[in-house]
Amino acid sequence: MSETTSLFAPESIIELWQEEGLFRAIDVQLATLLLRAGTSETIAALSVLVSHQVGRGHTCLSLPQLFDDPVKTLGIDASTTEFEAQFRDLIPDLAQLLEVLNSSDSVLRVAADEADALQPLVWDAHRQLLYLRRYWQHEQRIRNWLDTRTATQQQDIATEPLCAVITSLIAPKNDAISWQRLACANAAKQSFSVITGGPGTGKTYTVVRVLATLLAFDDTLRIALAAPTGKAAARMEESVNAALADTDNPALLRVKSALSRKASTLHRLLGSQRHSRYFRHNSAMPLPFDVVVVDEASMIDTEMFDALLDAIGPHTRLILLGDKDQLAPVEAGSILASLCREADSRSYSPAHQQWLMAASGETMPEPALPVAPGLNDHIVMLEGSERFQGAIADLALAVNACDVDAANQALTKVRQLSPPPSMAAQSMQLHGADPKAKAFWQELANGFADFVELCDQQFLAEEDAINTWAATVLSAYSNYQLLTALRAGPWGQQQVNRMMEQLLRLGATSGSGAWYHGRPVMVTSNDYSLNLNNGDIGIVLKHPSDQRLRVVFPAPVTDANPVGVRWVLPSRLDAVETVYAMTVHKSQGSEFRHTVLMLPDRPTPVLTKELIYTGITRAKKDLTLVIPNQSVWQQGVLARIERLGGLG
């Protein structure tokens, strides 16, 4: 079958899909460009489907999966469309489509065509995966980098002095394997290493001691700390500083003096260029560091990881930290989950395992089956949370295992707040609501009681006392947080924020527009001129000195700023939103003493065990779950994020 042979009915199927609103404008725009270049409608329609999958987080499209169940594969609501019938009419069987792919000038066939060809689509016949060219290139470069790093071992370090350094930093456990000591030894040997583990397993504690170990052998190392978002970078710096506080250990003091740079976002580390997806640092101008540590690696997408690896020089160590079970990034790909897909087995090649035991002083069980040298030798998974115990830990583990029965059992030990049956999601308003509905919302609002009381304190005082009061307000706010699965719609962030504002809005008559005393706000884009990052949270307060509204944000504690706050005029903040509630996605990298996780009342593809697990593990001490629909809760526990990609 030639490319000019169309499998379409006379009416364009792409136009029909566009009218039905099945795909994004950018998906259809790609097809339009291909049609203008003379590509057949069949290939153009495939480009729509591949682009659609990229928008859903996949880096490619599996054609066998597509033909087996097109509706499920593409995540289309079958109740509102006849898409499957349209698709079957378009392409009756896979064999016909393969013929079109193999004859199209718009498709690069892996291992059959020149690698530098410029076709917009790439067909990997071996795995039967169809890519947009850009994402195929990202994966190829990542794969080549990993293959090179995993095949080339660092120069062997003498195990005896290494073990002595590690022992001075991390005491052995008498009753269990210290995976922190093993992670320290592993990262000291490898030029690429991953330290993964759940909340409270000591990832920051461990990486600080990794850096101390490396500096013990070379105190001239240049070290950079980074994270995918500004909020995560700030949290990383806070955690590292806390791990280094009040120590007289010379090795840790050496780390403290070596970390002269603040933790930054990956975009800032790589040198993002305005109106471009390219960065200043790349293979031609690598990052000027000997060690790069990246926290919250579960948030790194495929394109960003490719850019990061491209900027890592041949002699620079890269250390990734993160929880492999947390939410996947917003953009396409799921890098940490792909890298750590066998991390639970904790299996290493025999030679590397022997070296690890000698270097760490730990004893590991013999593997059930021999493991070849490779990526597994570069990954250590920590265990044993020091922070999560009891019901929260049990619930998180059950959800992470997709075990509905265990999750329901653990749920009985966690506080639940059930909305009244009469409260329909469509009519979630205080005005005219029945008393039970009002009582439900009021109980949620009561969690902010301490915060509201502190905001209401009005006094005339010196600057130090004012700053201390503002710091106390910030601390009180961080003690209680509402989290939602969705941003919009019933039970979404916007709806819950509206309800909280109606109940909690303070001094509304004295504010101008949306600005009012007591309003919590989240910065929604990085503002380097103000040194504010996407995700930073501040509180609008009447400054007691002049009663003018200002926004107070946390700041590093210094001799000049012993309280650790700073004030910004509302007029300087262009991108903020009210944040009594935030989405679980936005909460990644944060912790709250009391977390309220509010689930939707109807099924949604967003609600997965990864999202529920991430929301649960934001709680440091107390957890409340709002479950409007038990069947939706159970479906969410069973649902997994399954992102297709060649790296997996």
Query: Which residues are known binding-site members?
Result: 197-204
The token duo for 604 is 């949604």
Burial class (CB in 10 A: 0-12, 13-18, 19+), 495: buried
Query: Which residues are known binding-site members for ATP?
Result: 197-204
Q: How many CB atoms lie within 10 A of CB 513?
A: 6
The label of the residue with tokens 């479906």 reads 635
Which bin fits 78, alpha (ψ -120 to 50), beta or left (φ > 0)? Answer: alpha
Burial class (CB in 10 A: 0-12, 13-18, 19+), 457: exposed
Tell me if residue 293 falls in helix, strand or coil.
strand
Sheet strand arrangement including 592-598:
415-416, 619-626, 592-598, 480-484, 581-583
In order, the DSSP letters of 427-448 are G--STT--HHHHHHHHHHHGGG
The secondary element (H helix, E strand) that includes residue 121 is strand 121-124
Whole-number Å distance between alpha carbons of 334 and 59: 9
Whole-number Å distance between alpha carbons of 199 and 387: 7
The label of the residue with tokens 């000698």 reads 358
The secondary element (H helix, E strand) that includes residue 136 is helix 133-151
Tell me if residue 480 falls in helix, strand or coil.
strand
Integer angstrom CA distances of residue 387 from 71, 258, 380, 592: 42, 28, 20, 12
Across 197-326, the runs of DSSP E, i.e. the strands, are 223-227, 264-265, 291-294, 317-322
Whole-number Å distance between alpha carbons of 452 and 518: 7
Integer angstrom CA distances of residue 483 from 364, 444, 478: 40, 12, 13
Integer angstrom CA distances of residue 447 from 19, 503, 535, 590: 46, 12, 21, 18
Integer angstrom CA distances of residue 87 from 68, 378, 605: 12, 44, 22
Whole-number Å distance between alpha carbons of 580 and 494: 10
Query: For strand 129-132 and strand 61-62, is the pairing parallel, antiparallel, or unpaired?
Result: antiparallel
Query: For strand 223-227 and strand 264-265, is the pairing parallel, antiparallel, or unpaired?
Result: parallel
